[in-house]
Structure 1
Amino acid sequence: MDVIVLGGGLMGAASTYFLARRGLRVTLIERNRVGSGATVASFGNIRRSGRYLPQLPLARRSLTLWGKATEMLGRDVEFRATGHVRLVFSPKGLEEMRSFAAAARPWGLDLEELAPRELHSRFPGLGPDAIAASFSPEDGSGNPRLIAPAFADAARRIGAEIVENVDVRAIRKTAFGFEVETSAGTYSAASLLNTAGAWGARISAQFGEPVPIIAKGPQMGVTEPLPHRILPVVGVWAHDHGGGYLRQVERGNIVFGGGAERTDVSLDSGHAKADPARLPGQLRALLPILPALANVSVIRTWSGCEGYVGDGLPVMGSSATTPELFHAFGFCGHGFQLGPGVGDVMAELISTGATETPIHDFRVDRFAATMNG
C-alpha cells in the first residue's frame, strides 16, 4: 500500500480519490461512516469572500473542481453556482467589505458592490435595511450529505479501499512507513495522511507536532418550504445581527446557521448536538437578513464536531518531524468550499513532493515554539 488516509470526511475522501487517480494504492480508514462528521454538519456554503487572503489560490483551485464534480464523480452533488451575497448593515461592515474587496482583487477575486436599490431589485426580500452588499457570482452551494460519499465511491471504483466503522487502536512508524492497527486488522503503507478533523491534533501530537485545537458544534437548522425563491447564498459582513447565514434549497426549505454560539463537544464521544434553547435567538438574528422567516416552522436542527485551530487557520502540508507523514485537518468550520482543492493539493504533494498551490501559512510547525516553549 502506498498511502493510508485517516479520517473519512470531505478532506479524506477527496484526498483518497485524487491519490487513486494519480495511480497510488490508497486505503481510507474511517471510524464511522464516510462523511458523517463535520462534513455532514456543514451549511454547504461555497464562498470565497471573507477568506484569509493567502487561502484564495486554494479556494480558486477548489471552485474549479466543484464545477467539474458531477462529471468527475459520476453523480450530482448539487453544486449550484447561484452566487454569494453578503449584506452590510453598518459603517463597520461597509469598511470591512470594501477593504476585503480591494485586497482580494490581486488574488483573483472580484466582488461586485451592490447599492441598496440594486440589491433589492435583484434579490427582493433580502435585507430591507441593508446599506450595501457584495456579490460573488461564481460561488454558491453544494450538498454536504452527498459530496464525501461521492468522492469515496468514485475512489473505490478506481481501486481505493474504503474501510468504515472501525476503531483505530494504534498508529506506529516503522522502518518501511506506517502501521495503523484497527479493530478490523492492521494496515500498512509507505505514507500516512492525517485528515482526522477535530481529532487530527491527537495524531500530530503522537509525532511531536502539537496543535492548539478545540472541538465545537455549529447550530444548524432547516425550515419548512417557503414559496419565495432566494437563489444566492446569503451572509453578512462584520457579523452584524449575529452573523447568521442562510440559503434556500430547490424544494423551498431555508437552511440556516450562525447567529448562535457554537456548543462544546467532547472528543471522547465526538457527539455534537444542537441546543434548542438557542433556536429562538438564532432565528431573531436572521430576521434582518430575511424577514420572511418571522412565521415559519423549523423542521430539523443538527450539529457536528468541528475542529477550531488557535489561529483560525487549518493545518495542511508535510510533517516537520516525520518523513512521509502529511496533515490536512482543523479547517475551523470553513473547509467545505476548500474540500476538493485540499484533496487535489494533498495528492499532488504526496505523489510529487511539491504543490503549485501555496500552503506555507498552514504548516504544522508554526505552533512548535509556543507549544513547546
Structure 2
Amino acid sequence: MGRNGTEVAVVGGGIMGTSSAWHLARRGVRVTLLERATVAFGGSGRTGALLRRHYSNEPEATLAQKGWETYAHWPEIVGGDPVHTPTGLVVTVDTSAACEGNVAKLHRNVALQNRLGIPARAVGPDELRELQPFARWDDVRVAAYEPDSGYVDAVAATRGMAVAAVAAGAAIREGCPVLGVATDGTKVTGVRTADGLILAEVVVVAAGPWTNRVLAGTGVALPIAALRVQVAILHRPLELEAPHFVYLDTAAGIFCRPWAPGQTLVGVGGGDQHDPVDPDAYAEQNDPSYPALAIAAMARRIPAM
C-alpha cells in the first residue's frame, strides 16, 4: 500500500492500542496507530491502575497473569524504566448474612490462581493484622493476598509502549480522530479520518468508550459504556509514612493504593458511585460531597486517615 495505506490500522492510543501496535510491529507488520488526542489521553491516563490477578474465571486470571509478567519485567521486555510497584495486594469480600457465599467464592478464586501458578493465598484477620497492623480488620473473615501485585504507572506504561512501538517500526499519528471504519460492502478497507481515508487490510478498534462511534455503520455494536468514577487523593499522617498495600476492599466499600509519597488514592463504592456519562461531556471534578465521603470510608479501614 502507498503513503496513505498500512497493513493494520489501530484506533486508539491507550494501553490496548499501543500494546497492539508494539506486538504487531515487532513481528514485522506495517501498523499505523491513530489517536484522536494524545497517547494515554483517555481511560489509560485516568485509571487507578491497580494490578491484580484475582478473578473468578480462568481466561481473565490467565490474561491478568500475562499482563503482570510484562509489567513486572518491563525494562527487560518493553524497555525503559520500571512501571510496576509491587506493594502487595489484598482483596476482601462482603461476608454479611446476605453474602454468605462470598467466602467460598474467594477460596475458589485463590485455588484457581494457584493452579495457574499465581502466588496468592487466603489470609484471616490475624495475619492481616500482622501484615498491616495500622488497619482495622474486625469486619473481615477472610481475604485474598497477592504479595507481588500492586499498581502500575499507567501513563508511563502507555507512553513507553508507544515509544517501543515506534522503535519497532510502527507509525503513530496523534490528533487524528477516526470518524469510522471504511468497507466495500463485504470487508473492511480502512478507516475514515479527519485527514482523509487511510487504507488498511485489518482494523483494530481499541477506542474504549468511543468504540461504538467508530464502529457505527459496520453492523457491529458492543456493550460498552463510559462510567464516571470519582477518586480522592488523601494525605497520610507521618505515622503512616510507609506505603500500605493496594486494597480491593469490598468489605469496607473502597479501593485504594499509594499515590505520591505520603499520599493515598481512594475510590468509594461500586455502581452507586459510578455514573454512566458521555465521554466527551461530563463533570471531570469531584462532587462537592465526595472528599468527605472518601475520608470517612478510608478511615473505616485505616483509622489514622
Cα distance, 1:47 vs structure 2? 0.2
1:323 counterpart residue number = none
Equivalent of 1:7 in 3, 12, 24: 12
1:214 counterpart residue number = 225
Max radius of gyration: which structure?
2
2:148 counterpart residue number = 138
Which amino acid in 1 is paired with 2:158?
A
1:248 counterpart residue number = 258
1:169 counterpart residue number = 179
Q: Does 1:158 align with 2:168?
A: yes
Q: Structure 1 stretch 19-28 or stretch 203-212: which is displaced more?
A: 203-212
Distance in 2, Cα, partners of 1:18 & 1:225: 40
Equivalent of 1:68 in 73, 93, 98: 73
What runs of 5+ residues in structure 2 fail to find an aligned partner? Answer: 1-5
Structure 1 residues 87, 125: CA separation in 2 closer, same or farther (over 3 Å shift)? Answer: farther
In the TM superposition, what are the counterparts of 1:85-96 in structure 2 within 5 Å? Answer: 85-88=90-93, 90=95, 92=100, 93-96=102-105
Structure 1 residues 179, 271: CA separation in 2 closer, same or farther (over 3 Å shift)? Answer: farther
Cα distance, 1:110 vs structure 2? 4.7
Distance in 1, Cα, partners of 2:132 & 2:149: 16
Task: Map Cα deviations across residues 80-112 of structure 1 (whole Å, 9 max, x no partner).
Answer: 222211235635353442243234443444531
1:102 counterpart residue number = 111
Distance in 2, Cα, partners of 1:280 & 1:181: 46
Distance in 2, Cα, partners of 1:171 & 1:76: 36
Q: How many correspondences in the alignment?
A: 290
Task: Map Cα deviations across residues 311-346 of structure 1 (whole Å, 9 max, x no partner).
Answer: xxxxxxxxxxxxxxxxxxxxxxxxxxxxxxxxxxxx
Cα distance, 1:51 vs structure 2? 4.5
Q: Is the 8 A contact 2:51 2:151 kept in 1?
A: yes
Distance in 2, Cα, partners of 1:75 & 1:58: 23
Distance in 2, Cα, partners of 1:88 & 1:211: 30
In the TM superposition, what are the counterparts of 1:182-331 in structure 2 within 5 Å? Answer: 182-224=193-235, 226-227=237-238, 228=240, 229-236=242-249, 239-242=250-253, 244-249=254-259, 251-259=261-269, 261-269=273-281, 272-293=284-305
Structure 1 residues 270, 4: CA separation in 2 closer, same or farther (over 3 Å shift)? Answer: farther
Distance in 2, Cα, partners of 1:101 & 1:142: 22
Q: Percent identity?
A: 27
What runs of 5+ residues in structure 1 fail to find an aligned partner? Answer: 294-373
What's the Cα RMSD here?
2.5
Q: Is the 8 A contact 1:241 1:285 kept in 2?
A: yes
Q: Is the 8 A contact 2:180 2:213 kept in 1?
A: no
Distance in 2, Cα, partners of 1:200 & 1:75: 30
1:366 counterpart residue number = none
Q: Is the 8 A contact 2:74 2:83 kept in 1?
A: no
Q: Is the 8 A contact 1:215 1:265 kept in 2?
A: yes
Q: Structure 1 stretch 278-287 or stretch 36-45: which is displaced more?
A: 278-287
Distance in 2, Cα, partners of 1:176 & 1:216: 32
Q: Is the 8 A contact 1:6 1:28 kept in 2?
A: yes
TM-score, structure 1 length as denominator? Answer: 0.70
Q: Does 1:17 align with 2:19?
A: no
Distance in 2, Cα, partners of 1:180 & 1:204: 10
Q: Structure 1 stretch 161-170 or stretch 192-201: which is displaced more?
A: 161-170
Structure 1 residues 291, 232: CA separation in 2 closer, same or farther (over 3 Å shift)? Answer: same
